[in-house]
């Protein structure tokens, strides 16, 4: 089979719109069987880190997933379970039920099932048809199929919008946050979880030393934005949100890899303490913000 040639698109800074940038990392990767080297750049004006150029939309593969395997469900439940339990505890503190919550990028519905049990009314939005079918049939969840920015959500207003590991995949994050603002009620809460820019940079140093050029770090084929606590704060404040909490997020474990899980657990604990004491975020980030 001949290699697929993906189309690439150059972008201006997704935060400030300027084109003054420097390359901070070059990652060797694959698009299906086509080898690619992609640039991670940093804006010299606002410090935003992003993939540039990025793959064009038609090369994005999420919608092409045909069916959900038991292995996928077990893997997803394992790696996200603790993340969702801890996040739900925070959410109950900031906005206890009853409330209407929309989970954008709801996947197989794991988070929505937990949230519904806690007394929230829930709706999912999900681009993958296979995920929508699975969540609807297995958990009797209400899920809208499609991309959040392009779906018609006329008349729908939420108290809470959650976006777990979504923002890094979005080509135009400012447009995405503007859409979120329109769907939220005044005073509503948005919750975002995403790869922290500093954590990616630390990973790039260590993993490059250990694995050389084969290290998977930024995953630029699917990850387009790498916000820090400063750049996410700027984006949300400029779009009419007030930050109520920024913290390092619960780490994802790995099945059958106790050593990795211990190291990750220790790092996560240290990162959480450092963030509380100094405001320096060396792990992935979770943000809670209120619509003004
Ligand atoms: Zn910029």
What pLDDT does residue 252 have? Answer: 79
Q: What is the mean pLDDT of residues 260-275?
A: 89
| pLDDT band at residue 209 under the 50/70/90 scheme | confident
Q: Determine the structural domain holding residue 186 and report its residue range.
A: 8-291
Does some domain include residue 1? no
What pLDDT does residue 87 have? Answer: 93
How many angstroms is it from 170 CA to the middle of ligand 1? Answer: 16
- pLDDT per residue as tens digits for the range 211-229: 888 888 999 999 999 999 9
How many angstroms is it from 47 CA to the middle of ligand 1? Answer: 6
How many angstroms is it from 19 CA to the middle of ligand 1? Answer: 8
What pLDDT does residue 63 have? Answer: 54
Does some domain include residue 2? no
What pLDDT does residue 65 have? Answer: 65
Q: What is the mean pLDDT of residues 11-17?
A: 97
How many angstroms is it from 23 CA to the middle of ligand 1? Answer: 13
How many angstroms is it from 42 CA to the middle of ligand 1? Answer: 8
How many angstroms is it from 226 CA to the middle of ligand 1? Answer: 12
**pLDDT higher than 80, residue 47:** yes
Does some domain include residue 221? yes
6 vs 10, higher pLDDT: 10
Q: What is the mean pLDDT of residues 277-288?
A: 94
What pLDDT does residue 210 have? Answer: 87
How many angstroms is it from 273 CA to the middle of ligand 1? Answer: 29
Does some domain include residue 60? yes
| pLDDT band at residue 64 under the 50/70/90 scheme | low
How many angstroms is it from 17 CA to the middle of ligand 1? Answer: 6
Does some domain include residue 3? no
Does some domain include residue 204? yes
The model's pTM: 0.92
Count of structural domains within the chain? 1
How many angstroms is it from 127 CA to the middle of ligand 1? Answer: 28
How many angstroms is it from 44 CA to the middle of ligand 1? Answer: 7
How many angstroms is it from 238 CA to the middle of ligand 1? Answer: 13
What pLDDT does residue 253 have? Answer: 72
- Written as six digits, the tokens of 243 are 């930050």
How many angstroms is it from 236 CA to the middle of ligand 1? Answer: 15
| pLDDT band at residue 85 under the 50/70/90 scheme | very high
- pLDDT per residue as tens digits for the range 137-186: 999 999 999 999 888 888 899 999 999 999 999 999 999 999 999 999 99
Does some domain include residue 120? yes
The percentage of residues in the chain with a pLDDT greater than 70, rounded to a whole number, is 96
How many angstroms is it from 176 CA to the middle of ligand 1? Answer: 17
The percentage of residues in the chain with a pLDDT greater than 90, rounded to a whole number, is 72
Q: What is the CATH number of the domain that holds 76?
A: 3.40.50.150
């Amino acid at each position: 089979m001949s290699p697929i040639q993906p189309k690439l698109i150059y972008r201006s800074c997704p935060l400030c719109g300027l084109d003054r940038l420097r390359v901070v990392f070059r990652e060797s990767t694959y698009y299906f069987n086509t080898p690619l080297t992609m640039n991670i750049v940093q804006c010299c004006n606002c410090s935003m880190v992003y993939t540039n150029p990025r793959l064009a939309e038609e090369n994005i593969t999420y919608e092409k997933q045909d069916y959900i395997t038991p292995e996928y469900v077990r893997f997803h439940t394992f790696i996200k379970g603790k993340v969702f339990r801890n996040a739900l505890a925070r959410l109950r503190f900031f906005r206890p039920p009853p409330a209407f919550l929309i989970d954008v990028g709801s996947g197989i519905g794991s988070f929505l099932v937990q949230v519904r049990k806690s007394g929230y009314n829930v709706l999912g939005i999900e681009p993958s048809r296979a995920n929508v079918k699975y969540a609807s049939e297995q958990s009797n969840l209400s899920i809208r199929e499609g991309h959040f920015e392009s779906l018609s959500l006329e008349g729908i207003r939420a108290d809470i919008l959650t976006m777990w590991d979504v923002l890094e995949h979005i080509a135009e994050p400012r447009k995405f946050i503007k859409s979120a603002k329109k769907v939220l009620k005044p005073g509503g809460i948005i919750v975002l979880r995403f790869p922290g820019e500093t954590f990616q940079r630390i990973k790039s140093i260590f993993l490059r030393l250990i694995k050389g050029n084969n290290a998977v770090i930024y995953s630029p084929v699917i990850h387009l934005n790498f916000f820090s606590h400063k750049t996410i704060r700027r984006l949300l404040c400029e779009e009419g949100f007030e930050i109520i909490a920024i913290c390092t997020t619960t780490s994802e474990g790995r099945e059958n890899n106790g050593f990795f899980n211990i190291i990750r657990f220790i790092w996560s604990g240290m990162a959480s303490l450092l963030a509380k004491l100094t405001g320096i975020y060396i792990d992935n980030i979770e943000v809670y913000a209120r619509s003004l």
